[in-house]
Chains A and B, each alone.
Chain A
Amino acid sequence: MAANRSLLLVAAAAAIMAAPFVLGIEGEFKGNDDRASEAIAEARPGYEPWFQPLWKPPSGEVETMLFAVQSALGAGLLGYIIGRRRSSAPRDVTRR
């Protein structure tokens, strides 16, 4: 039951992600931060950020890789913890 509910919820989340394309929404699908900097440029023509990132990923590919690494690290650790909790759960019951 719980597993079925989880599957349904994940499917609903996936449907929300797919909705813009299924509905054929027009747009560039740029990041909101880029849209914000455009809005700032409109409000303050000629504004230049006064500080630059210390390091920038040299290309879109490297940036994508690093974002993927970030989510892989998180997902890996999360999966490990879920697995550990599951496998140790019966022992906890008997110990009680």
Chain B
Amino acid sequence: MHIMEGYLPAEHAAGWFIASAPFVIAGAIRLKRIVHDRPQAKMTLAAAGAFTFVLSALKMPSVTGSCSHPTGTGLGAVVFGPAVMAVLGTIVLLFQALLLAHGGLTTLGANVFSMAIAGPWVSYGVWRLVKGMGAPVGLAVFLAAALGDLATYCVTSVQLALAYPDPASGIIGGVLKFGGIFAISQVPLAVAEGLLTVVVMNALSGRAGMADEIQVLSGEVK
């Protein structure tokens, strides 16, 4: 669930655009280099975009009695690093803002920052950390996708709290209030996203559990 059209004050909206722009530009450069250096990775790039398309269209019920949707950005972040997801995520967010009135153009910068930048960077960090500790690929992918999903909605909560601090308890109160809406209900969805990411990763690579599973997908190993 992205921040709705027109719901961020203009200066906040502009600030998030400025914060997101360098990441999207860097992502586009990275994307171009990957396609140039490893043409065999094109298919996996398309798959990473397609996975985000599917998951961000699935509004799922949560045990909190509300609905939200996962992000699907963890898969691409694990395979290609977080930079390219800034571009792929922006495409998905534009589609939803223009055709579905979901999210918005004025809030695009903020939504790109949460879903296409913060989420993928957390996913990538978790992936490197957990993999570095010697965990199996599947577990590392699961945690990366689930925590990246959760991080996206924590950032959304902070973004709204900055714009709408609680009248009594300020920004901290706002974070707790919006976190109660976005982050808590996201927990089961994040677990589901983690599970589905492992399944799709395995299906794509056909090498479930093997150490070079991810390198095969990224085109670094044939």
Contacts and interface: CB of A to CB of B under 8 A. Distances in A.
Contacts of A26: 65
A10 to B, nearest CB: 6
B167 A43 contact: yes
Contacts of A19: 63, 188
Interface size class of A (residues with CB under 8 A): 35 or more
Interface residues of B, number: 71
Centre residue among A23, A27, A36, A85 by max chain B CB count within 10 A = A36
Given A9-B196, A85-B206, A89-B206, A52 B181 contact: no
A10 B54 contact: no
A37 B7 contact: yes
B98 A54 contact: yes
Given A10-B196, A50-B10, A77-B50, A2 B209 contact: yes
B21 interface: no
Interface string A62-92: 0100111011011101100110111001001
A57 interface: yes
B196 to A, nearest CB: 5
Interface of B: 1-7, 9-10, 43-44, 46-47, 49-68, 95-102, 104-106, 160, 164, 166-167, 174, 177-178, 181-182, 185, 188-189, 191-192, 195-196, 198-200, 202-206, 208-209, 222
Contacts of A77: 46-47, 50, 53
A53 to B, nearest CB: 4
A49 B104 CA distance: 11
A86 B205 CA distance: 8
Nearest to A48: B6
